Amino acid sequence: MNAPNPQGPPAVRSIVGLSAASFGALGGCLTLPGTLLPVLVERFGIRLFEAGSMLALQQVGYLLSVIAARSVIERFGMRAALSGALFTSAVGFGGFGMATGWVSGAIMMLVAGLGFGVMEVATNTLLITAGGERRLNMLNFAHLFFGVGSFAAPPIVAPAVAAGLSWRLTFFVAAGLLAAVALGWSRVRIDTPPSDASVAGSGTPWRVRSAQLFALVLGVYVGVELGIGGWLTKYMVSVRSTTLPYAGNVLSLYWLGLAAGRLLLSVLAHRVREQALLLWLAITSTAMVCGALAAASPWMSGLCFAGTGIAFSGIFPVVVALGGRYHAHDAAGVTSVMTAGAALGGILIPWTMSAIADTLGLVVGMALYAGLCGVMALLAAGLHAVLPAEPVARRWA
């Protein structure tokens, strides 16, 4: 089977390719500070709280820029917003490579986050408007590379730094890659298609509320996805009594499942209605997380966590595609709202889980994620019930 839109016009092919490169760079760059955190703590001579605060400022910058993204796109245009956002993140990562302490490092992480937020809103908006009937396939294909970047960066960077490569050089390389993608966006002609005139009742109350529901689903999803990714190795070592390498392999399988699922859905997603696909993915992810926690053996638990990654794979692209379908009159606005919800969930839910795990234990903390998956499934069922039915998208020639 072919990748999304292999026969499309050159501009669309360039948009898909650069979107994939943008999400790949985002995935790799977001894992880079965490991968090198032990080295950064030692070289900067800082406490763990200071290190955590330094990394948290990237998420703060991301959230602030997501909120402002719609205004930035409307004022400067899509091409300038995308190239400017990635150049901003390149400055942040290049500046971090020259940082001398956690304060200067935190400022540079904030700058990098400011670029990433606008980039994600603009890229998703562009894929929605350029994708037409195949927008879900294009979203899945582009977001697949976030998983590829997240999966590939740690095993490349960590051994290289351990072998003597300067940690600063890795941030300079990341800055160069971001700048190269930014240059690519600056050279693409982007003609945003007009809004879909067939979308009726865009101002009705249920449509206004649906944007908040989409944001809520993404907030729960991103919080659980990042939370499991952050605590999985600790859970496997402390609760399942595995070795650290074994736990690391389980984590790799989790992220690999995310990437593999998106690759599959990038080809097949147009065969299923988006509401139904979201519901089945949410139900499956709930079952997989529960199975991982209840499994009798470490290998079965790891297998279920890999299945969780596969089930999680399509949730973000499907919700973004739904938002674009039912708010085609304001794709940038609804994408900004949904991404802001995702950012808030990514900040608040893992923090809440850490507080629960610290007081009630890691098993109870991980059970929170299973419960939130159930909440996500209920929200998906509600959206499936109230959203108007749409025909399955046609295959492109």
Question: Whole-angstrom Cα distance, residue 13 to residue 7?
Answer: 8
Domain housing 322:
202-387
Residue 292: CATH number of its domain: 1.20.1250.20
Q: What is the pLDDT of residue 118?
A: 93
**Per-residue DSSP letters for 292-336?**
HHH-SSHHHHHHHHHHHHHHHTTHHHHHHHHHHHHTGGGHHHHHH
**pTM for this predicted structure:** 0.75
Q: What is the dihedral of CA 15, 17, 21, 24, to 10 degrees?
A: 110
Whether 155 is in a domain gets the answer: yes
The angle that helices 298-312 and 274-294 make with each other, rounded to 10 degrees, is 160
Question: Whole-angstrom Cα distance, residue 388 to residue 37?
Answer: 47
**135 shares its domain with 222:** no
The tens-digit pLDDT sequence of the chain (397 residues) is 344 443 445 578 888 899 999 999 998 898 888 778 778 888 888 876 777 778 778 888 888 998 898 889 889 989 999 999 999 999 999 999 999 888 999 999 999 999 999 999 999 888 888 766 677 778 888 888 988 887 788 778 878 888 889 999 999 999 999 999 999 999 987 755 444 433 334 445 555 577 888 999 999 999 899 888 878 878 888 889 888 778 777 887 888 888 888 888 777 766 777 888 899 999 999 999 999 999 999 999 999 999 999 999 889 988 988 887 777 777 777 888 888 888 888 888 887 887 888 788 889 989 999 999 999 999 999 888 877 665 444 333 2
Burial-class residue 48 by CB neighbours within 10 Å (0-12, 13-18, 19+). exposed
Question: Whole-angstrom Cα distance, residue 167 to residue 117?
Answer: 25
Whether 3 is in a domain gets the answer: no
Place of tokens 């159930």: 374
Question: Whole-angstrom Cα distance, residue 170 to residue 71?
Answer: 33
**145 shares its domain with 173:** yes
**Per-residue DSSP letters for 293-305?**
HH-SSHHHHHHHH
**164 shares its domain with 275:** no
| Number of compact structural domains in the chain | 2
CB-CB contact of 97 with 171 (8 Å):
yes
Whether 195 is in a domain gets the answer: no
In this structure, what DSSP letter does residue 98 have? T
Looking only at Cα atoms, what is the longest distance across the chain?
A: 61
Whether 323 is in a domain gets the answer: yes
**262 shares its domain with 165:** no
Q: What is the pLDDT of residue 108?
A: 95
Whether 308 is in a domain gets the answer: yes
**244 shares its domain with 364:** yes
Q: What is the pLDDT of residue 10?
A: 55
**101 shares its domain with 227:** no
**176 shares its domain with 274:** no
Last residue of a domain, one of 132, 157, 188: 188
Question: Whole-angstrom Cα distance, residue 26 to residue 32?
Answer: 10
Provide CB contacts within 8 A for 255, sequence distance 6+: 147, 150, 151, 229, 309
**381 shares its domain with 251:** yes
CB-CB contact of 123 with 22 (8 Å):
yes
**175 shares its domain with 271:** no
The angle that helices 102-131 and 37-44 make with each other, rounded to 10 degrees, is 150
**15 shares its domain with 114:** yes
Q: Which helix (H) or strand (E) is 229 found in, with range?
A: helix 205-238
Tokens for 209? 């509320």
Shortest CA distance to 102 belongs to which of 41, 178, 189, 61? 41
Which sign, positive or negative, has the C-alpha torsion 390, 132, 318, 337? negative
**Per-residue DSSP letters for 43-85?**
HHT--HHHHHHHHHHHHHHHHHHHHHHHHHHHHH-HHHHHHHH
Supply the Cα-derived Rg of the chain in whole angstroms.
Answer: 20
Whether 197 is in a domain gets the answer: no
Last residue of a domain, one of 188, 220, 243: 188
Last residue of a domain, one of 156, 188, 220: 188
Whether 367 is in a domain gets the answer: yes
Place of tokens 């909120």: 67
**178 shares its domain with 215:** no
Place of tokens 């971090």: 96
**Per-residue DSSP letters for 235-278?**
HHHHTS---HHHHHHHHHHHHHHHHHHHHHHHHHGGGS-HHHHH
**172 shares its domain with 224:** no
Whether 326 is in a domain gets the answer: yes
**Helix H segments across 98-166?**
102-131, 135-162
